Chain A
Amino acid sequence: MRYGRGPDVLSDISLSLPRGSFHFITGPSGAGKSSLLKLIYLAARPSAGTVRLFGEDVAGMTARDLPRARRRIGVVFQDLLLLDHLSAFDNAALPLRIAGHKPSEYRGDVAELLTWVGLGGRMHARPPTLAGGEKQRLAIARAVVNRPEILLADEPTGNVDHEMALRIYRLFVELNRLGTTVIIATHDQDLVARSARPVLHLDKGRLKPLPPQGPTT
């Protein structure tokens, strides 16, 4: 894929991630990790080649299909994309509201989740008043609140301490255990090493599978 008339930022990528798998994407800054995730969460379309999601060719999706597919995907964006004018609680509840659920159905769940990520005392706070790590945890809460079938996390542990990083990682593992396909783009070599999960290594837009478990092409 490419941005506008720019050069290809991803090329020769061929991979297939089975349902329920757990992958890391690693690689130096600018390698195309975020771009690859954008293809999956339908924020970008490939300039060549095909992307299949939930068994469906993305190119064939209509304007009506896109929202339905996106509701099945949770994303922790690299730049978080929290809404500054909404409280932490409103931010976390966003996907549920958009999906049309009633507040009475999810109030308790949202509060519980926010407490779990350590924001129990900050539910009314707006993102600008949150610390970097708190924002990141809020973005994670928003990404998982709707129990997505696919969870994409772009540098989700960039701003949190090691202990919180492990905690977040365990949340992802728990979601994965319940059936969510998890893909995490990260720099955190320590986390990658510790997890023993398959790694997709990107370098200059090309895929270089690394151990421990080899390619899943």
Chain B
Amino acid sequence: MSESFDPARWRPAAFLPEQDARDPALIFAIAVLCFLACLTALGVIAGDRAAHGWAGQLTGEATVIVRARGGETPDAAAARAAETLAGVKGVSEARALEKEKAYDLIRPWLGDVSDLEDLPVPRLVAVSLDRKQPATAAGLRQALKAQGLDAVVDDHQIWIKDIRQAAGVVRWTGAALFLLIALAAAAVVAFATRAGLAARRDVVEVLHLTGAEDGQIANLFELRFARIAAISGAFGATAAALAGGLLRLVGGGQGITPALPIAWLDLLAVLPCPLLAAIVAAVAARLTARRLIQDL
């Protein structure tokens, strides 16, 4: 205890005891919340990408069902429809499918009928649309009608709408979860601030009586909890990135399943976590500390 003390090398110590900043329970709780928030973010990103992929595939194509009319054979009608459609602006390719394809589609209902040739089975024309300026279903319908073809155009809009809707639900659910987790983190920090103030009432009293402003004291708690949250956030984010990476590896090139494709780049989404956690904690600690100090 008698080693010399050099005032020139003295650095001001923290007003609040350092050991309070190493509360493992608090660090664990915030880290878990950050982990969950990061997983939510990764889930939303992957879900969004999946929805985009599906919607993109569906937007690029349309299916036209052609029924023969008058004396025309189904094959001839299909061929004429394909030709007509190929000429429409916004269509990059139109191809009449072989009749077997059409049979395959109806076989589940009719059973293995040997003499399908006799049935007036409608034919299908697969249409690939121009990606940039896709033709509308109405445009296709009009062109077919002009040629006197009896046809039904399905541009998959109904599916696309469903997918968009599902993607929207995923996004909003994700946002709500995220908000909920942030609020939970804020509540945890508010609780910890209250406990910290109660445990260090003596320190707060001395600072007060020595002329510290409420804001100065609140600052101590704000900085302390921002730092704890940043560290906890780094733990949680790292864990979430590891979990995401694991899913990616297990799922192979396409992610866990093509349904939830996680890209390596997506893992970067966890990076802002420590900062966000610190901001949430700082605000929560500041508000709590200010209110409690005022009541002292």
Q: Are A103 and B12 in contact (CB under 8 A)?
A: yes
Asked if B209 contacts A43 (CB within 8 A), the reply is: yes
Q: Is the CB of B209 within 8 A of A75?
A: yes
Question: Is A86's CB within 8 Å of the partner chain B?
Answer: yes
Q: Is the CB of B1 within 8 A of A63?
A: no
Contact between B203 and A98 (Cβ–Cβ < 8 Å)? no
| B212 contacts the other chain (CB 8 A) | yes
Find out whether the CB atom of A87 lies under 8 angstroms from the CB atom of B12. no
| A124: Cβ under 8 A from any B Cβ | yes
The answer to whether B210 and A129 touch across the interface, beta carbons within 8 angstroms, is no
Q: How far is the CA of A123 from the CA of B203 in the complex (A)?
A: 20
CA distance A146 to B11 in the complex (A): 18
Within 8 A of B (CB), among A123-169: 123-125, 129
Q: A94-B210, A98-B211, A121-B2 are in contact. Are A81 and B7 (CB under 8 A)?
A: no
Contact code string A103-121 (vs B, CB < 8 Å = 1, else 0): 1000110110000000001
- Residues on A with C-beta less than 8 A from B210 are 70-71, 94-95, 98
Nearest-neighbor residue (CB-CB) of A72 within chain B: B211
| B5 interfacial contact with A, CB 8 Å | yes
Chain B: which residue is nearest A38 at the CB level? B209
A68-B211, A94-B210, A125-B1 as given contacts; A89 in contact with B205, CB under 8 Å: no
Whether a CB of chain A sits under 8 angstroms from the CB of B202 is: yes
State whether the Cβ of A64 lies closer than 8 Å to any Cβ in chain B: yes
CA distance A129 to B2 in the complex (A): 12
CB distance from B71 to the nearest CB of A (A): 97
A96 to nearest B CB, angstroms?
10
Q: Establish whether residues B211 and A124, one from each chain, have CB atoms under 8 Å apart when the complex forms.
A: no
A95 nearest CB neighbor, chain B only: B210
B57 cross-chain contacts in A, Cβ below 8 A = none
A97 at the interface (CB under 8 A from B): yes
Is B3 engaged at the interface, CB distance under 8 Å to the other chain? yes
In whole angstroms, how far apart are the Cα atoms of A85 and B208 in the complex? Answer: 17
In whole angstroms, what is the CA distance A111 to B214 when docked? 29
Q: Which residues of B contact A123 (CB under 8 A)?
A: 5, 7
List residues of chain A with CB within 8 A of the CB of B207.
94, 98
Number of residues on chain B facing chain A (CB within 8 A): 28
**Cβ of B213 under 8 Å from chain A:** yes
Q: Is A41 close to B, CB under 8 A?
A: yes
- CA A85 to CA B206, docked complex, whole Å: 13
Contact B211 A95 (CB under 8 A): yes
B209 touches A81 (CB 8 A): yes
Closest residue of chain B to A85 (Cβ to Cβ) is B17
Q: Which of B176-224 contact A (CB under 8 A)?
A: 202-203, 205-214, 216
- The answer to the question of A196 belonging to the interface, with a C-beta cut-off of 8 Å to chain B, is no
Shortest A131–chain B CB gap in Å is 13
For the complex, is A99 an interface residue (Cβ under 8 Å from B)? yes
Complex Cα gap A42–B15 (Å): 22
Alpha-carbon separation in the docked complex, A68 to B214 (Å): 12
Residue B109 is within 8 A (CB to CB) of chain A in the complex: no
CA distance in complex: A70, B212 (Å) = 9
Pair B294/A63 contact, Cβ less than 8 Å: yes
Tell me if A67 is interfacial: C-beta within 8 Å of chain B: yes
Specify the chain A residue showing the minimal Cβ separation from B216: A98
- Within the complex, the shortest CB–CB distance from B272 to chain A, in Å, comes to 33
Complex contacts, B2 vs chain A, CB 8 Å: 121
- The smallest beta-carbon distance between B21 and chain A, in angstroms, is 12
Is B158 part of the binding interface, using a Cβ–Cβ cutoff of 8 Å? no
Interface residue from B13, B208, B213, B216 paired with A90 (Cβ < 8 Å): B13
Q: How far is the CA of A95 from the CA of B210 in the complex (A)?
A: 6
- Give 7 nearest A-B pairs by CB, closest first: A71-B211, A111-B7, A70-B211, A123-B5, A85-B17, A124-B5, A67-B213
| Sample of 8 further A-B pairs with CB below 8 A, known A86-B15, A110-B7 | A63-B214, A70-B211, A71-B210, A71-B211, A83-B202, A85-B13, A86-B13, A98-B212
Residue contacts A-B, CB under 8 angstroms, 24 given: A42-B209, A43-B209, A63-B294, A67-B213, A70-B208, A70-B211, A71-B211, A81-B206, A81-B209, A83-B206, A85-B13, A89-B10, A90-B13, A95-B210, A95-B211, A98-B207, A98-B210, A99-B211, A103-B11, A110-B7, A123-B5, A124-B3, A124-B5, A125-B1
